[in-house]
Amino acid sequence: MKEETIAIDGGRQLAGEIEVSGAKNAALPCLFASLLSSKKVVLDNLPLVTDTMTSIEVLKSLGLAVRRQGKKATIDAAKAKSASCEVPLEQARAMRASILALGPLLAKRGEAVVPLPGGCDFGSRPIDIHLRGLRKMGAEIEMKGGVLHARADGLRGQRLTLEFPSFTGTENLMMAACLAQGETIIDNAAREPEIANLAALLVAMGAQIEGAGTSRIAIAGVASLGGASHAVMPDRIEAGTYLAAAAAAQGDLTLRGCGGDELAMVLDKLEDAGAEIESSQDRIGIIMDRRPRAVDIATAPYPGFPTDLQAQFLAVSSIAEGTARIVEGIWEQRFRTADELRLMGADIAVSGSSATVNGVAQLTGAHVQATDLRASAALVIAGLCASGTTVIHNAHHLQRGYEGLAAKLNALGARVRQAGA
């Protein structure tokens, strides 16, 4: 397979309007939720990214009939060809979200075989919160050779208190609880808006869920779930990435189809950096006509500053006026971008879970390596404001979560060329 690269001629301001795509981290759980249905589930506004395609492949290999036309997929459980309970190794390794098959398979089919998930590599990525909850609900789960083998003879509703508000952990348990016998309460649940979006789909399918999007979710189990039509919410992380790009490269940018409410903390930080922000229900505008001021950031579960925008703000801080302290509060090792940004002239010192960034006046184009999805986005941002040309190697990471990135940036006046895709 040919290596994918992205080349960026930097130093051009961004101007114009682009549309925000559907959220990857809402689309994937919604796709896996269709495993719970006995009828037809229609999902719209799916982002056209590789993680969406991988999830669809998983559903097909589990026997579901899936027809995708553009951003819309029709998943028909009534036409299921088999009831395989085994997630293929290749897809599980490609994407951490494959763990989201576990709860629905156990609840609906009583069995799941799921290889331990792969995905972005930023330190240990345990799934003990998922497993503890499912075991408490009556599942028997064993690990053999890196593969989870789970069985349940009917799950039972339970009171679950999560040790940490795990995003996909909350989703897996909420989905499993929909078909469990009796009531499940999830305390210390993750509050990400994508969880409320998933719950909206499940409720449309006939589930009884209250409190999704808050730290206590109550689910009354039902005997079966039916069909539904559902639109995936806009991608606040994609939106935040373009806003960070505008903050670094300067310009005047409007994002359509995404409101500012779910990005409140990020918009505050951009204003602190000197940006003029205007947001409504379905638009966010940013005007940046100065070098950004350094701002401190500490990532935390929602509604805190999202870890999935940390690398992008590391890139913004690299060219900011002053010194920024960036603290990563979610993942153990999510500063690998710093090594690549240094190749472009950034002054970043990493110590444990924090980075100190002394802003430099200008970054210089270089050959850099993408290491994961958001790290790749950070390198794109650095490339947009650097002098000369930046070539990002291993750019396939970007396709996992950014729909049409090069086309969107070029529509804003950037010069981005993709090769090898």
| Residues annotated catalytic, as ranges | 120
Which of 134, 160, 246, 373 binds ligand EPU (CB under 6 A)? It is 373
107, 95 Cβ separation under 8 angstroms: no
d(CA 247, CA 273): 8
Question: Of the two residues 4 and 308, which places its CB atom closer to ligand EPU in the complex?
Answer: 308
Question: Of the two residues 102 and 409, which places its CB atom closer to ligand EPU in the complex?
Answer: 102
Q: Tokens 């993408």 label which residue?
A: 370
Segment contacting ligand EPU by CB under 6 A, of 80-88, 124-132, 199-207, 253-261:
124-132
Answer yes or no: is 136 a known binding residue. no
Question: Of the two residues 269 and 291, which places its CB atom closer to ligand EPU in the complex?
Answer: 269
For the chain, the 3-state helix, strand and coil shares in percent, each to the nearest 5, are: 35, 30, 35
Q: Does 126 bind ligand EPU (CB under 6 A)?
A: yes
> For the sheet containing 389-393, what is the strand order?
367-369, 389-393, 5-9, 415-419
Question: Of the two residues 99 and 179, which places its CB atom closer to ligand EPU in the complex?
Answer: 99
SS3 label, residue 90: helix
Pairing assessment for the beta strands 147-151 and 111-115 based on DSSP bridges: antiparallel
Which two three-digit tokens encode residue 7? 């080349």
Answer yes or no: is 347 a known binding residue. no
Question: Of the two residues 172 and 250, which places its CB atom closer to ligand EPU in the complex?
Answer: 172
Segment contacting ligand EPU by CB under 6 A, of 164-172, 213-221, 257-265, 379-387:
164-172
Q: Does 129 bind ligand EPU (CB under 6 A)?
A: yes
Q: Residue 382 Cβ, how far from ligand EPU at the closest point, in Å? A: 18
Which of 130, 230, 269, 397 binds ligand EPU (CB under 6 A)? It is 130
Which two three-digit tokens encode residue 252? 């005047």
Q: Residue 127 Cβ, how far from ligand EPU at the closest point, in Å? A: 4
Q: Does 141 bind ligand EPU (CB under 6 A)?
A: no
CB contact set of 145 (below 8 Å; sequence gap of 6+) = none
167, 28 Cβ separation under 8 angstroms: no
DSSP run (H or E) holding 193? helix 193-204
Contact flags string 7-36 toward ligand EPU, x per CB under 6 A: ------------------x--x--------
Q: Does 96 bind ligand EPU (CB under 6 A)?
A: yes
User: Residue 286: phi, psi to the nearest 5?
Assistant: -135, 135
Please give the residues from 302 up to 321 whose contact with ligand EPU meets the rule CB under 6 A: 307-308
Q: Residue 190 Cβ, how far from ligand EPU at the closest point, in Å? A: 6
Amino acid symbol at 263? L
Answer yes or no: is 24 a known binding residue. yes
Answer yes or no: is 135 a known binding residue. no
Question: Of the two residues 125 and 216, which places its CB atom closer to ligand EPU in the complex?
Answer: 125
Contact flags string 103-122 toward ligand EPU, x per CB under 6 A: -----------------x--
Which two three-digit tokens encode residue 247? 């903050």
Q: Tokens 């609900």 label which residue?
A: 137
In terms of phi and psi (left: phi > 0; alpha: psi -120 to 50; beta: otherwise), the region of 411 is alpha
Segment contacting ligand EPU by CB under 6 A, of 123-131, 213-221, 248-256, 347-355:
123-131
Instruction: Label residues 86-117 b or e (16+ Cβ within 10 Å = b).
Output: bbbeebbebbbbbbbbbbbbbbbbbbbbbbbb
Peptide bond into 303 cis (omega under 30): yes
Q: How many Å separate Cα 191 from the centre of its chain?
A: 14
Answer yes or no: is 81 a known binding residue. no
Nearest to 280 by CA among 297, 296, 257: 257
Q: Does 239 bind ligand EPU (CB under 6 A)?
A: no
Q: Residue 278 Cβ, how far from ligand EPU at the closest point, in Å? A: 27
Nearest to 408 by CA among 371, 377, 366: 377
Question: Of the two residues 205 and 398, which places its CB atom closer to ligand EPU in the complex?
Answer: 398
Q: Does 371 bind ligand EPU (CB under 6 A)?
A: no
SS3 label, residue 419: strand
Nearest to 200 by CA among 17, 398, 70, 30: 30
Segment contacting ligand EPU by CB under 6 A, of 1-9, 14-22, 39-47, 162-170:
162-170
* Residue list for the binding site: 24-25, 96, 308, 330
Contacts with ligand EPU by CB under 6 A lie at 25, 28, 96-97, 120, 125-130, 164, 166-169, 307-308, 330-331, 373-374, 401
* Residue list for the binding site for phosphoenolpyruvate: 24-25
